[in-house]
Amino acid sequence: MPAELPVHVAHGACPHDCPDTCAWTVAVRDGRAVGLKGDAEHPFTRGGLCAKVNHFLDDRTYNPDRLLQPLRRIGPKGSGQFEEVSWDEALDTISDRLRAIVSEHGGDAVLPYSYLGTQGIVQGEAVAAPFFARLGATRLTRAVCGSAGGSGLAVTMGSGPGMMPQDLQHSRHVIIWGSNTVSTNLHLWPFIRKAKEAGAKIVVIDPVKTRTAAAADQHVQPLPGTDAALALGMMQVIVAENLHDRDYVDRHTVGFEQLVERLALYGPDQAAQITGLPADDIRRLARDYATMRPSAIRVLVGMEHHAQGAEMFRAIACLPALVGAWRELGGGLCYMTYQLFGEVDSTCGAAIADQATVREVNMMQLGQALTSLTPPVRALIVYNANPAATTPNQNLVLQGLRRDDLFTVVVEHFLTDTARHADFVLPATTQVEHRDIMFSWGQPYLANNEPAIAPVGDALPNAEIFRRLAERLEFTDPVFQLTDEELAEAATAPLGAARVGELRERGWIRMDGPEHAVPFGNGGFQTPTGKCEFYSQSQADAGLDPLPCYRPATESPAGDPARAHRFPLILLTAKGGHHFLNSSYANVDRALNAERPALLDIHRDDATPRQVRDGDTVRAFNDRGSVQLTARISDRIRPGVVSMPSGWWASLSPGGSSANALTPDGLSDLGGGGDFHDTLVQVEPIR
């Protein structure tokens, strides 16, 4: 019997849109990946992967449903009827169509659509962005996550990073505000659990009783969209009871007197009326936060998806400065870490200026762009995204995708709901088949991703696909001549030879330094004044409210009583699925079986008058669409609120539609984020 071939181990990192960006190692034997596990040496990953990614090789790389050959549509859009073609035939036809469209209608008739289907710098935008800039295409505003929250925080505390996630282990009072850490940020949970074991109190503020809320010491359930009022109510109690840090406020903030005047509108009784919380709960939360030190607030992107999303973050960011939490290790506000990766050249030294003054389309409003933009979009190129499932106002998006005069190309691993509407589908490599450099927005480690195996079938890396299109369109800019390895080298070159060598040898390096342990202990906020700005002169100069406030969303019971009469329930479409990651894995039998049935959480007080019983098939609907689910009557949500999971593909859902069939496609107050958590619906049983 021949001896077993030796195993080679390659370093890499998870590509998904997730704060953890887990480092992994891939075992390869005879050219096939035979094992994948979390890197045990990585201080954040610590050897473990989540339930979504543990089966990455079987679920993605070697999934029998994976696309391995270019496809050309031969049936109606959305039918999923395709034939296999060669790469040359596909790319020749695509480039000819793009050339003709640009010649007749101009470059801005082409719209790219992408997001963080991979967080890789090389396979993300390193070649794609220069390609579309050179084409003169419409510019896509990629603002679905982070933009609204980051803009709100920037008004109050500037754009620099706050406390590091791992420093939450030093906290003695942790508020996880609007984030489901256990399901969507799993590798942070051990640090929070360590704080809890040392005596910290863990509080979750969330309208839904998530896995994280169930594991906390206290769960606070405000009405969706009222978080700014809760933060202001807490501040009123803190100031009224003299629990604020006068010295820190005097030295490192501006606008305290004006803030106090504003807080008079948000006493605990007034805040209780807005949030639906007992006034005494607001008082207790404020007192605990101000006195149990060090105190920390953890926020991520879930809370920002409201029309007033930035305002919520702006108000919450006042709290750590008000109580002087920034003075202590384990105190402050913990948000994203992407700011740490500024040394890495995300353009790989190859940015190309737009060839003309081009129009912009916000990715949240793709349906509007494809159905009513003038002059119309003639070609849509989708990569690293599945907008038919993930973009609000789903039915309008699908209406646009079904236009016979829209030429659509999708770069994908599977025949997603978006790909089913394409004229051509191009097979992309998975993370273990290509070179990349991985930043993180939830921890401080940069990762090196080696290609562990050769591409399976005829799949190609994203960067190579755009290089080949550029060649056919006779784009001669230097970036289109660089290999993926050269792009990775250019991205990391600013780090210096020693750190690049460390990155290659170990697979990851840490990007933060000692200055981030207590980032604003002595002030130094990255604001116009250098201080935490309770009062923002820049907001006043822009004609906006210079102080944090609460304003009800347009689509809410307080903002539109007439609409609320027709659709009286507030809908949340959170990332509650433990086995889906956005829309990834939602086509995998293993994950689907673990998540089925798709549940609508409804409180008994709302179910009884609608004659909805536990386990009933129900219809949640508004004037944008309708979704069919199974009712779960529980106390996971409060009366007046219902919740359903996001991430399901419409084509694999009962009734043929999923959560985004109900959500609006408006924009947030700052930053251009979406307002899809401001959704009103009605629910009825299907008998």
Domain assignment of residue 570, yes or no: yes
Domain assignment of residue 246, yes or no: yes
Find out whether the peptide bond into 451 is cis, omega within 30 degrees of 0: no
302 in the same domain as 237: yes
Domain assignment of residue 514, yes or no: no
Closest by Cα among 107, 121, 16 to 503: 121
- Kindly state the tokens that stand for 562: 């007439």
Q: What b/e readout covers 431-441, taking b as 16+ CB neighbours within 10 angstroms?
A: bbbbbbbbbbb
CA dist list (Å): 657 to 398, 404, 451: 11, 22, 37
Closest by Cα among 126, 125, 131 to 486: 126
291 in the same domain as 152: yes
Domain assignment of residue 515, yes or no: no
360 in the same domain as 321: no
Contact between residue 288 and residue 247 where contact means Cβ atoms under 8 Å apart? no
Distance from first CA to last CA of the chain, Å, rounded? 63
Strand, helix or coil at 295?
strand
CATH at 290: 3.40.228.10
DSSP 8-state class, residue 402: T
138 in the same domain as 152: no
pLDDT of residue 356: 64
605 in the same domain as 482: no
pLDDT of residue 104: 96
- If one counts the domains in the chain, the total is 3
Domain assignment of residue 56, yes or no: no
Domain assignment of residue 629, yes or no: yes
Range of the domain at 596: 561-685
417 in the same domain as 316: no
Domain assignment of residue 65, yes or no: no
233 in the same domain as 108: no
424 in the same domain as 284: no
CA dist list (Å): 452 to 7, 29, 259, 431: 11, 10, 56, 9
Q: How far apart are CA 385 and CA 123, in angstroms?
A: 13
pLDDT of residue 355: 65
Residue 674: half-sphere exposure toward Cβ, Cα within 13 Å: 25
- Kindly state the tokens that stand for 443: 């921890």
582 in the same domain as 536: no
Q: How far apart are CA 372 and CA 462, in angstroms?
A: 30
CATH at 388: 3.40.50.740
Torsion of CA 69, 74, 77, 78, to 10 degrees: -60
pLDDT of residue 275: 97
Domain assignment of residue 280, yes or no: yes
537 in the same domain as 571: no
What residues contact residue 501 under an 8 Å CB cut-off, 6+ apart? none
Q: How far apart are CA 364 and CA 372, in angstroms?
A: 14
326 in the same domain as 309: yes
pTM score: 0.95
360 in the same domain as 325: no
Q: How far apart are CA 71 and CA 201, in angstroms?
A: 54
Mean pLDDT per 10-residue segment, the chain (687 residues):
70 94 95 95 94 92 97 96 97 98 96 93 95 94 90 93 94 96 92 97 96 95 96 98 98 98 97 97 98 96 91 97 97 94 85 74 96 97 96 96 97 97 98 97 96 97 98 95 96 95 95 87 95 97 96 90 95 81 85 88 97 96 97 94 92 92 94 92 95
Closest by Cα among 586, 427, 417 to 77: 417
Closest by Cα among 284, 285, 316, 287 to 300: 316
